[in-house]
Structure 1
């Protein structure tokens, strides 16, 4: 039996096409017109800027009967603004904190941990944690 002398040719890959970036657009559905306006982010959209109502917030960690480690995160409108960690008893300072910001605390301790925030929050502090995982969230009032 004779083999065919036909050579295999590679398939051509389709070329990538550029798609326009999403922006303001208008869609029409029968008698209804909708306009989609996407927010524009700039360098100063979420920057922690000094404002007349900004606060200095201190978060005090006291680890007793063992060792501990914790990380505090400051969020504004769901965006991470500042993150600091501590591996012994002490304070974490956040500047330019505003009402409506949230603070998340995550960590672990082998003894107990006491967290005190020096500004009104929901839930209120101080908050005591037993040995194990530390997970807490606070809303600045």
Structure 2
């Protein structure tokens, strides 16, 4: 996205590698016929950061730290009160690619953990907003 900015650190975009899109770690390795309500589950969200690599968000908990096996975390990342790194690039909202292939704009305040294929876990709830702790742990809404 042209509105994304380099963060000014080692993750800065380069001439040959630049992205501001984050694939969803819950659904990336899954056959789409297993995703319930695919028109409501984002497979890609955007971030305000223009970086040289992509990262799965939400991310698998054990590989990201803090959550146990089978759990996911960091579907959002706060950068301050009422402001998030993810899905807040354009007028406090962002563009999402949904699992059924359509794209849509949503205000960050309307996003919930469930929109990323997450359900209640040890420290996170499906209805959590971006005000929930970044590192809350959720179960995937779809069986593996």
Alignment TM-score, normalising by the size of structure 2: 0.27
Larger Rg belongs to: 1
Q: RCO higher in 1 or 2 (8 Å CA, sep ≥ 6)? A: 2
Bigger fraction of residues in strand: 1
